[in-house]
Each structure stands twice: as structure tokens, then as C-alpha cells.
A and B are shown apart, each in its own frame.
Chain A
Amino acid sequence: MPDRAAATLSQDTWQRFRRNRLALAGLVVVLALVVCAAGAPWLAPADPAKQSLIEKRARPSEKFLLGADEFGRDILSRIIYGSRVALLVGLLSVAIALGLGLVLGCLAGFAGGWLDVLIMRGVEILLAFPYLLLAIAVVSALGPGVLNTTIAVGIWGTPTVIRLVRGAVLTARESEYVRAARALGATSGRVLTRHVLRNILPTVIVYSTLFMANAILVEAALSFLGLGVPPPTPSWGLMVSSGRDFLLVAPHIATIPGLAIMVAVLGFNLLGDGLRDALDPRLRGQV
């Protein structure tokens, strides 16, 4: 029975999703992002690292469709290549947060007792720990770079995942389905795992998309504070940060990457909302 229900579930889900226009818009944005990232070498009109100091801060024109930055580099090309950093950071950091979070959350939920207390206190300590210091620590230990920024962002997201997973595990443990299964003699471990994992899957999927939105913002904030990717790799956050100095004379340098961040984050938010509404409208209000 569970397998047929699962098939119907995904069909229903897709139906509900398709009808939600905003969700579709989000999906389109995310797909566009992926295409940008994958096809950057072919889509970008110019080398994002090529400088032409004499043409610094050029307004949008035929040569520079979206204008040039303070080094005379083509902003459009940098936006396109910047999607790679945004997506990479988003995807990998989600993977890290989910990986760590699932393991620790399940441990806390299943094992209970002192292990649960220990993990939850650890989560609280991590939440109270200044994030900037965490980022500096990661970057100092591992060196600057896209991957290491990703790790810093991933660690940032882990506490929330732990809490979510642990909460879902605790709820599932008390659910009637599990109690019934236990009463019928099924071993606790297998039943719990299957039921719990299936239960938290929608929550996790939705959280992932929303987290990716946040991850892009966090990476942008880190670049803004001076801890981002090494040059000349373009990062939208870094572009906004360096464009700050020219806000009055050449606002396009900071504004356009800011718009890109916004659109990407919006896309992921819409996608996440759509998924949540499609998978289980009852989830609204919990995630």
C-alpha cells in the first residue's frame, strides 16, 4: 500500500504545483540560474576578469550591456559567472547543513537522554556564537575560497536543520502509525526510520530551497564584510560591496548585482513556497 500511495502523492503534488503560477515562476528562475551557471562560458559576452581601467564605471552601452565595474570589467559577464558561486555555495552548503543536521538531529531524537541534551546545548551554543567569528575561523583554518565559504555557510545552517529533524523525529515517535506498527511487532528501528524519513522529507525539501535562498544572502554578506571568494572570481555579494563606494556616481555597479541576488533569492523562495503548498498544505505555518 505505501508504494501506490507514494505514486499518487507525487502525482498530486505535481498537479498542485503546476497550478501555482508563482511556484512555476520560481522554478523558471531557478532553472535559468542553473543554465547561467552551467553555460557561463558560452553565455557571457566577455571575459569576466578582463580589465580595462580606462573604461571604468562605464554606463550600459553596446559594448557593456549592463555597464562596466570599477576595473572596466563587463558586469553582465560577471553576473553570469557569479551565478556559479551563488549556486555552488547554495547547493553545497545545503548539502553540508542537511548532512550534518540529519545525522545529529536523528541522533538527538532517537537516542534521547544525555546525548539529546548534549546535542541541543551544542545547538544553542552555536546559535549564540557570533557568526562572523565562525566565518573568520573557518576561513583562517582552511584559507579563503569558494569551498571554504560554503563550509562556513553550511555550518551556519546546521542548527536549524538539527532542530527541525529532531522535532520531526520526536513527533513521529509518538504518532499512531508508529505505535500501531510497534504493537504489531515490527522492530522499532526499521519502522521509525522509514516512517520518520518519509515524514520529514517534505519539510526537508522545502527547507532546502528556503535555505538556499538564505545561503546566497549569507555568502553575499560575508563577501560584503571582506571574507568571500578570492579575486578575480565574481561573487554578487562582493560586487555589491565594492560598488558601495560608487553609489553616487555609478549606482549600476552595486544595484545590478543586488538585483541579481534578489531575483535568485526570490526564485528559491517562490519555489520553496510552491513545493510546500504542493507537498502538504498543512505544512504551512510550520516551516
Chain B
Amino acid sequence: MLTFVVRRLLLAVPVLLGVVFVVMLTVELIPGDAVALMLGEHATPEAVARLRDYLGLDKPLCVRYAGYVARVVRGDLGRSIQQNRPVADELADAWPATLELTCAALVIAAIAGVAAGVVSAVWPNSLFDGIARVGSLFGLSMPVFWTGLVLIVVFALWLPWLPVGGAGSPAHLVLPAVTLALPSLAMVARMTRSSVLEVLREDYVRTARAKGVAEGLVVAKHALRNAAIPILTLLGLQAGQLMGGAVLTETVFSWPGLGRLMVKAIFARDYVLLQGAVLVFALAFVVINLAVDLAYGALDPRIARQG
């Protein structure tokens, strides 16, 4: 298995290198110069030119790319152009917040989604099932930025139970995590329901029931075990989606995470900071995919053998 992990991580390297290059190239090609933007309306062309020279931004793209890669390999992610701080520091300030938000959302989506899905499957067409299915459909269809705004108005204004934005206490995490989790929760609930329903119809389950095994045991042992794989696939995909969705949610709730940092970096054309953020996201994707694959192997030995 170790070789599997190592091989996957090695395969990720060209992708990471590629992403960095494409990002650098894109920022180069689109209009907007980080230094000019920073200095703003009150900058003289000489001031802009001097600062660009000082920051080494006038060198050709390939030279800068090579330099960047060489430094990254040594662990130096460079300095943010706009913030004049090491990118590593900026990222270190921001990524725990995103991690916290994404994990919270994932946990909410997984637990609530699976629970709702299982209950729906065990009592299909009941009132709960009806509400859950309709609710899921709505959850899938609501734009994240709108849900966030509605939740703010209801839970932070009309019923001032929760804070409006920013981070700091567990209470601050509730609204953004729920907002982010909602679409995933809906999908997990639907997926769980259909997977568990299918499994419950299988012959071996009927056999188990006929043999008198308790319903709860049937569900837990057989249904979930076998429904786990598609649910897991979905969760793996969702983890990636959640990180991407974090951008909008972080904006609406002023959550000080990587998503917001990335948006700021893009609007400021601060490509050094942007690349750092992109690398972190890309690495996270790789790790998540790897984890999902490993979990597959654990759940279904047939897959592990193919690995």
C-alpha cells in the first residue's frame, strides 16, 4: 500500500507544477499589474517602475517560473506582492479557518445526510421521507450566496441568536458551516436513501430478515456497509466542491479563510500569493482523493487488490 500512496503523490507533482505555470501565465496575460494597483491613482510611472524592478517583477515569465519552483522546492513560497509578507505566513493565517469550515460542513453533511437518508430508506414514503426528499431538492437548488444571506437575516437579525460574520467563537461557525453544507447534505441524503433502498431489496437482506435478524442490525451491518462505497465517492467529490464553495461562503460571512484570500489575491493580481493558495488547494484535493481511494480499499478488498 505504501507504494500506492507514494506513486499517487508522485503523480500529483506534474499536476501541481502545471497548475502553478498556468496560473502564472494567466495572471501575466490578463490586464492588471499588482504594483500599479497597489500604488493606486496616486502613483507616478517612475514609482511603479522602481517598485517593479525592486520586486523582480520585470524578469520574463519563464525565469520567474523557474525561480519560483526552485524556491518552492526549498520550502520558500515567496512574498505576497501586495501584503509584503511571506506567503507562508498569509496561508498559515488563513488555512486553519478554511479547514475548520470545510470539516464542519463535511461533518454536518455526512452525519445529517446519512441519518436523514437512512431514516428515509427505512420508512419510505412516510411524512419524514416526504419532507426529507422535498427538502433535499430545495437544498440542492438554493444558491449558496442567497442561502447565506437569508440565514443571516433570519438567525442573526430577526432572532439574534447567532453572530453575523467573522470568526472567533463556535457560534460564528454555525451559519457559514450550515450554509456551505446544505447542498452537500441534500445530495448525501438522496444518495444514501437510494443506495440503502437498493441494498434493502437485495436477496441476502431478505434472507437475513427471514432468518429473524433484527431490522436495525440488518440495516447497520449489511445496508450501510454496501451502500458505503457510493456514499464515500460522493463525499470525496463533495469535499472538493466544499473547498471551492468556501470562496462564496467566506465572502458572504466574512470568514477569514483561504477562499477569501484567493479572491483578494486575484483581484489584486498578487500572483505570488495566489499561487501559494492554489498549491494548498491542489494539494488538499490530492490528499482527499488519496484518502477516498484508501478508504475504498479498506471497505472493499476487491478494489484494494487492483490498486
Contacts and interface: CB of A to CB of B under 8 A. Distances in A.
Q: Do A and B come from one complex?
A: yes
Interface of A: 22, 121-122, 124-125, 127-134, 136-137, 140-141, 213, 217, 220-221, 224-225, 237, 240-241, 244, 247-248, 251, 254-255, 258, 261-263, 265-266, 269-270, 284-285
Contacts of A130: 23, 262, 266, 274, 277-278, 281
Contacts of A129: 19, 22-23, 278
A263 B281 CA distance: 32
Contacts of B281: 128, 130
Nearest to B142: A262
Nearest to B262: A130
Nearest to B16: A128
Given A121-B18, A270-B137, A284-B194, A262 B149 contact: no
A251 B153 contact: yes
Contacts of B30: 136-137, 140-141
B29 A137 contact: yes
A240 B14 CA distance: 40
Nearest to B230: A285
Given A258-B146, A284-B194, A266 B248 contact: no
B213 interface: no
B52 to A, nearest CB: 20
Q: Which 8 A-B pairs have the closest CB atoms?
A: A258-B146, A128-B282, A265-B141, A266-B141, A140-B30, A125-B18, A124-B15, A128-B19
A164 B22 CA distance: 24
B14 A221 contact: no
Given A128-B282, A262-B138, A254 B149 contact: yes
B143 A132 contact: no
7 contacts: A128-B16, A134-B26, A136-B266, A220-B143, A221-B143, A224-B248, A225-B263
Given A124-B15, A129-B23, A130-B278, A140 B146 contact: no
Nearest to B25: A137
B149 A244 contact: yes
Contacts of A128: 15-16, 19, 278, 281-282, 285
B304 interface: no
B248 A221 contact: yes
Interface string B29-49: 111100000000000000000
B247 A132 contact: yes
B191 interface: yes
Interface in B243-266: 244, 247-248, 251, 262-263, 266
B140 A269 contact: yes
A254 B146 CA distance: 8
Contacts of A225: 251, 263
A285 B191 contact: yes
B150 interface: yes
Given A132-B266, A221-B248, A258 B143 contact: yes
B76 to A, nearest CB: 21
Contacts of A248: 153, 157
A266 B138 contact: yes
Interface in B117-165: 137-138, 140-146, 149-150, 152-153, 157
Contacts of B138: 262, 266
A258 B140 contact: no
Given A132-B266, A247-B153, A262-B142, 19 more contacts: A22-B137, A125-B15, A127-B240, A128-B15, A128-B19, A128-B282, A130-B266, A130-B277, A133-B26, A220-B143, A225-B251, A225-B263, A247-B152, A248-B157, A258-B142, A262-B141, A262-B146, A265-B142, A269-B140
Nearest to A140: B30
B19 A217 contact: no
Contacts of A121: 14-15, 18
Nearest to B136: A269
A266 B247 contact: no
Contacts of B27: 133
Interface string B268-296: 00000010011001100100000000000
Contacts of A213: 140-141
Contacts of B142: 258, 262, 265
B274 A140 contact: no
B179 interface: no
Contacts of A136: 30, 266
B22 A125 contact: yes
A186 B230 CA distance: 36
Contacts of B198: 284-285
B195 interface: yes
Contact of B150 (A122, A220, A258): A258
